[in-house]
Amino acid sequence: MTVLSAATTPALFEATAAVLPDRPAVAMDSTTLTYAELNGEANRLARRLVAHGVGPERLVALAMPRSIEFVIAILAVHKAGAAYVPVDPDYPEERKRQMLDDAAAHCLLCLPGQDVTGAPVILSVAREPGREEPNLGDEDRIGPLRPDHPAYVIYTSGSTGRPKGVLVTHRGIPNLADDYVRRQELGPGSRLLAFASPSFDAAVAEFWPIWQAGGCLVLASAPDLVPGEPLSRLVRDQRITHVTLPPSALAPLEEAGGLPAGLTLLVAGEACPAPVAKRWAVDRVMINAYGPTETTVAVTASEPLTGEETPPIGRPITGVRTYVLDDRLRPVEDGDVGELYAVGPGLARGYLRRAAATAERFLPDPFGGPGGRMYRTGDRVRTRPDGQYVFVGRVDDQLKVRGHRIEPGEVEAALLAVDGVAQAVVTEHENRLVAYVVGAGGERVPTEKLLTPLREQLPGYLVPDVVVGLPSLPVSPNGKIDRVALPTPEEEHAGRAAGRAPLTPTEIILAELFAEVLGVSTVGVEDSFFEIGGHSLLATRLVSRVRERLKIRLRVQAFFDAPTVARLAKVLDGAHT
């Protein structure tokens, strides 16, 4: 069952609800709502929003955790005709304030009892099962809802040091849903896991295709989504048939039992290495998708991967055109490297209240009709003989780390604001965000002095995984910072004093496992895992290795509380006594 050609998201959902009212639409833990139930609750909240003046061209902030209520809120905001702005409640207060100030939302939705400030009107979202309301028509809204009205605003990392909001309309969402339903063979029996944070646009590609297909969207709390044993168990327990993951999440899963055969696995958010495709394409339908936030999630998607070569990012999805151009906007020959430009219904309106930034990235389409636009992705690709694209790299300094898009300038600006920091450069190394810092007078700035203020103002994915202190930054002959000459974290770690060597049997084993997972020769027993290159995905891998080697139960949270060899050894030795 596939509903085609809806012009807006409310029309898409309501068409499915009319045909399959009693099928499950969303589930979390022990709660499941049918399409009729979800539709009715969203209608009720939408009418409340309209009564508060919410409608087309207005923004509604959602400061809510993953929950059934969050799903109701998204659907209700769209039914009222407005656009939602997801604000992760776990973000630092400074980040939330920046987003709310910039969005100037008409109101903010939260759960009952949530402590949220920063919006003129705050409404709580509470379920009222059984209280159904009819669908809203244009006569019920403060104005007609059209495909070119805003659907959502997603904030991405900004090179100026402040996040920028990408304003996306309804027009591209049904187009994306049409393609993904066919490509992933979604149907009423499908159960798709909502892995992406609601604060990122990847969630859009999880919600609307499964609802167009009449399947069930499965939500889970953050601890159950940690790549490794928790996620592997969740996929099996919830009988998940479809999931989208960043490639970097797959390694911890392999050590925790993997994913079921027959699953449809879509990878996106970062480049997919050939060994990953070779391992995971077997016995599954594995698809590599690509697209920036400015294009309604997806521009291209591959055919099912065979695992035999570097995974392509595929061809344009339904309704999308692409160009591969040189720096003078001329098409390059097939096989040559050029910059990828996208055209189609998914192009965002632009950056919220940033006309200059919009004009820089959204250009007139020289190959289309009058008024046509194309989006400059900043990604370099080449075309294979079969017509599929292969990702080559960036034309600028933008980074991708564990699926997150990062402007290094935003992190560098935060580092330079820390007292005692003279210079800072941020790069990516082996899927880790690395900061190189020079203190005033060449002095080393303590890592915690740097990271503590960053954690208070930036989301976790923008806080460096590794800080490398240097007496000076290498420069090229023209006086610019030479990023190629920066030492790797491993080189810098090898050059430091090793500290106390491991003494007890447990310390010796843990030191070996720490070094193995981090890819370094040795670690000091007092070195914090997270200060010498570790991050959450590597932590789950390390915990799995510790369990296997020492035959002991170890929770991931216990490791986070004791992230050095010495401290973790005390915890484990204490568990044996």
Please write the tens of the pLDDT for every residue from 114-131: 877 777 789 999 998 887
Percent of the chain with pLDDT over 90: 63
Token duo for residue 242: 């479809």
Q: What is the pLDDT of residue 467?
A: 87
* CATH of the domain spanning 505-576: 1.10.1200.10
| Biggest distance spanned by C-alpha atoms of the chain | 77
- Taking all residues of the chain, what is their mean pLDDT, rounded to a whole number? 91
Angle 555-559-562 (CA atoms, 0-180°, nearest 5)?
140
Residue 576: pLDDT band by 50, 70, 90 thresholds? low
Q: What is the pLDDT of residue 498?
A: 57
Write out the H or E segment, with its range, that includes residue 373. Answer: strand 373-383
Q: What is the pLDDT of residue 251?
A: 81
In contact, 206 and 176? CB cutoff 8 Å: no
Q: What is the pLDDT of residue 3?
A: 44
User: Given the structure tokens 């040189």, which residue do they identify?
Assistant: 326
User: Hey, which of 50-59, 424-433, 493-502 has the most confident mean pLDDT?
Assistant: 50-59
Q: What is the C-alpha to C-alpha distance for residues 3 and 275, in angstroms, rounded to an integer? A: 37
Position with higher pLDDT, 243 vs 478: 243
Q: What is the C-alpha to C-alpha distance for residues 99 and 152, in angstroms, rounded to an integer? A: 13
Residue 472, CA distances (Å) to 25, 198, 444, 477 in order: 56, 40, 10, 15
**What residues pair up with 321 in beta bridges, in sequence order?**
343
Angle 287-312-309 (CA atoms, 0-180°, nearest 5)?
100
With a CB cutoff of 8 Å and minimum separation 6, the contacts of 392 are: 337, 379, 380, 381, 382
Position with higher pLDDT, 218 vs 423: 218
Q: What is the C-alpha to C-alpha distance for residues 354 and 348, in angstroms, rounded to an integer? A: 13
pLDDT digits (tens, 9 = 90+) for 20-68: 999 999 999 999 999 999 999 999 999 999 999 999 999 999 999 999 9
Q: What is the C-alpha to C-alpha distance for residues 299 and 342, in angstroms, rounded to an integer? A: 7
How many Cα atoms are found within 13 Å in the side-chain-facing hemisphere of 556? 19
Q: Which of 60-74, 183-197, 278-292, 396-410 has the lowest mean pLDDT?
A: 396-410
Q: Identify the CA nearest to 85 among candidates 118, 45, 129.
A: 118
Residue 79: pLDDT band by 50, 70, 90 thresholds? very high
Q: What is the C-alpha to C-alpha distance for residues 251 and 257, in angstroms, rounded to an integer? A: 11
Residue 101: pLDDT band by 50, 70, 90 thresholds? very high
Q: Which of 38-42, 196-200, 414-418, 481-485 has the lowest mean pLDDT?
A: 481-485
Phi then psi for residue 551, to 5 deg, are 55, 55
Q: What is the C-alpha to C-alpha distance for residues 205 and 177, in angstroms, rounded to an integer? A: 7
Strand 350-351 versus strand 164-169 pairing type:
antiparallel
Position with higher pLDDT, 453 vs 286: 286
Gap between the terminal Cα atoms of the chain = 59
Q: Is the dihedral of CA 46, 47, 53, 57 positive or negative?
A: positive
Q: Identify the CA nearest to 244 among candidates 223, 266, 274.
A: 266
Q: Identify the CA nearest to 16 among candidates 49, 38, 48.
A: 38
Q: What is the C-alpha to C-alpha distance for residues 180 and 174, in angstroms, rounded to an integer? A: 10
Token duo for residue 255: 């050590």
In contact, 532 and 493? CB cutoff 8 Å: yes
**Region 310-326 average pLDDT:** 96
Q: List b or e across 207-232, with b for residues whose CB sees 16 or more CB atoms inside 10 angstroms.
A: bbbbbbbbbbbbbbeeebbbbbbbbb
**Region 461-488 average pLDDT:** 84
Q: What is the length of the chain?
A: 577
Instruction: Indicate if the pLDDT at residue 468 is higher than 90.
Output: no
Query: How deeply is 37 buried, as exposed, middle or buried, from its count of CB atoms within 10 A (0-12, 13-18, 19+)?
Result: buried
Q: What is the pLDDT of residue 499?
A: 66
pLDDT digits (tens, 9 = 90+) for 197-211: 998 999 999 999 999
User: What's 502's DSSP letter?
Assistant: P
* CATH of the domain spanning 7-170: 3.40.50.980
Residue 319: pLDDT band by 50, 70, 90 thresholds? very high
In contact, 308 and 137? CB cutoff 8 Å: no
**Region 402-415 average pLDDT:** 89
Q: Identify the CA nearest to 199 among candidates 84, 353, 42.
A: 84
Pick the CATH number of 406-483 from 3.30.300.30, 1.10.510.10, 3.30.70.270, 3.30.365.10: 3.30.300.30
Q: What is the C-alpha to C-alpha distance for residues 361 and 339, in angstroms, rounded to an integer? A: 12
C-alpha dihedral, 176 to 179 to 180 to 186, nearest 10°:
130
Q: List b or e across 152-168, with b for residues whose CB sees 16 or more CB atoms inside 10 angstroms.
A: bbbbbbbbeeebbbbbb
**Region 424-450 average pLDDT:** 87
Q: Which of 4-13, 48-57, 312-321 has the lowest mean pLDDT?
A: 4-13
Q: What does the domain layout of the chain look like in residue ranges?
A: 7-170, 406-483, 505-576
pLDDT digits (tens, 9 = 90+) for 363-392: 999 999 899 999 999 999 999 999 999 999
Q: List b or e across 453-465, with b for residues whose CB sees 16 or more CB atoms inside 10 angstroms.
A: bbeebbbebbbbb
Instruction: Indicate if the pLDDT at residue 298 is higher than 70.
Output: yes
Q: What is the C-alpha to C-alpha distance for residues 275 and 278, in angstroms, rounded to an integer? A: 5
In contact, 16 and 38? CB cutoff 8 Å: no
Write out the H or E segment, with its range, that includes residue 541. Answer: helix 536-550
User: Hey, which of 233-237, 270-274, 491-495 has the most confident mean pLDDT?
Assistant: 233-237
Instruction: Output the 3-class SS for 134-183.
Output: CCCCHHHCCCCCCCCCEEEEEEECCCCCCCEEEEEECCHHHHHHHHHHHH
Q: Identify the CA nearest to 54 among candidates 17, 9, 109.
A: 109
Token duo for residue 531: 């200060």
Token duo for residue 519: 């890819």
Write out the H or E segment, with its range, that includes residue 394. Answer: strand 389-394
